[in-house]
C-alpha cells in the first residue's frame, strides 16, 4: 500500500505543479485582459498578479521539465502501472456520473469518457515510444501533460459534484455546474491533444532541423 501511495504521489506531482501553474498564468492573464489598458497600471494590482503567477511555472522545476519527467519516469515506471490504476478509478467516476441521470451534468459523462479513451490511447503510444523512439515521446511530453491534467481535472470535479449531491450539500448544484463547464469546455481538448502527441513528433523534429541547422 505504501508503495502504491508513493507511486500515486509521484505521478500526480508533475500535473499538480505544471497544470495548475499553467492555469494560474491563464487566469492572471485574463485578469489583466478584463481590465483593458488599466490592466497594465499598477494601481489595479492586476499586473502584479500576472508577474507573480508567471514565476510559478518556472521555479520548482520548469513545466517543460515536469512534462518530461511525467513521460520518461512517472508513466514509464512499472509499465505504466500507476497510470492504469488511476485511469480505472477515473472510469468508475465517469460511470457514476452517467448513472446519476442528473440533467445538470449535461454531456459531462460523455465528454469525460471520450477524454479517458483519448488519454488511454495516448499513454499507451507514449509508453511504447519511450523505449523505441524516445525523441518522439519527448516531443509529445508537454501536450500529454496538458491532456492528462484536463482529463484528471474534469473527473475530479465530477467526483466532487457527486459527493456534494450525495451529502445533500446546499451548494451541490454549483458543484455540478462547475464540473459540467470544465468537462464541456476544457476536458474536450483531450482528443485534440491526443493527435498533437501522436501525430506531430515528425514536425517537431523537422522544425528543430530547420531552425537549428
pLDDT on residue 46: 87
pTM, to two decimals: 0.93
> What CA–CA distance (Å, rounded) separates 73 from 65?
11
C-alpha cell at 203: 514536425
> What CA–CA distance (Å, rounded) separates 59 from 56?
6
Written as tens digits, the pLDDT of the chain (213 aa) is 899 999 999 999 999 999 999 999 999 999 989 988 888 787 788 889 999 999 999 988 999 999 999 999 999 999 999 999 999 999 999 999 999 999 999 999 999 999 999 999 999 999 999 999 999 999 999 999 999 999 999 999 999 999 999 999 999 999 999 999 999 999 999 999 999 999 998 998 888 778 876
> What CA–CA distance (Å, rounded) separates 83 from 77?
9
Contact 74, 148 (CB under 8 A): no
pLDDT on residue 195: 97
> What CA–CA distance (Å, rounded) separates 130 from 105?
37
Asked if 43 is an active-site residue, the reply is: no
pLDDT on residue 119: 98
Q: Where are the domains of the chain?
A: 2-56, 63-212
pLDDT on residue 40: 78
> What CA–CA distance (Å, rounded) separates 4 from 136?
29
Crossing angle between the packed helical segments 172-182 and 141-166, to the nearest 10 degrees? 160
pLDDT on residue 52: 93
Residues 42, 60, 160, 167: which is the catalytic one? Answer: 60
Contact 131, 138 (CB under 8 A): no
pLDDT on residue 198: 97
pLDDT on residue 205: 83
Q: Is the dihedral of CA 110, 112, 115, 119 positive or negative?
A: negative
Sequence-distant (≥ 6) Cβ neighbours of residue 21 within 8 angstroms: 53, 56, 57, 63
Amino acid at each position: 500500500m505504501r508503495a502504491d501511495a508513493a507511486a500515486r504521489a509521484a505521478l500526480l506531482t508533475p500535473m499538480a505543479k505544471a497544470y495548475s501553474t499553467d492555469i494560474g498564468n491563464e487566469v492572471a492573464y485574463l485578469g489583466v485582459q478584463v481590465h483593458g489598458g488599466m490592466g497594465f497600471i499598477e494601481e489595479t494590482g492586476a499586473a502584479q498578479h500576472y508577474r507573480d503567477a508567471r514565476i510559478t511555472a518556472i521555479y520548482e522545476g520548469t513545466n517543460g521539465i515536469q512534462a518530461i519527467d511525467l513521460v520518461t519516469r512517472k508513466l514509464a515506471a512499472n509499465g505504466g502501472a500507476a497510470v492504469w490504476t488511476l485511469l480505472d478509478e477515473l472510469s468508475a467516476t465517469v460511470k457514476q456520473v452517467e448513472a446519476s441521470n442528473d440533467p445538470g451534468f449535461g454531456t459531462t459523462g460523455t465528454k469525460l469518457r471520450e477524454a479517458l479513451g483519448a488519454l488511454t490511447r495516448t499513454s499507451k503510444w507514449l509508453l511504447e515510444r519511450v523505449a523505441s523512439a524516445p525523441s518522439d515521446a519527448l516531443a509529445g511530453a508537454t501536450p500529454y501533460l496538458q491532456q492528462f491534467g484536463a482529463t484528471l481535472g474534469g473527473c475530479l470535479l465530477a467526483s466532487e459534484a457527486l459527493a456534494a449531491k450525495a451529502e445533500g450539500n446546499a451548494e451541490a448544484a454549483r458543484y455540478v455546474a462547475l464540473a459540467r463547464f470544465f468537462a464541456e469546455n476544457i476536458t474536450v481538448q483531450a482528443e485534440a491533444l491526443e493527435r498533437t502527441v501522436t501525430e506531430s513528433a515528425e514536425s517537431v523534429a523537422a522544425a528543430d532541423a530547420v531552425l537549428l541547422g
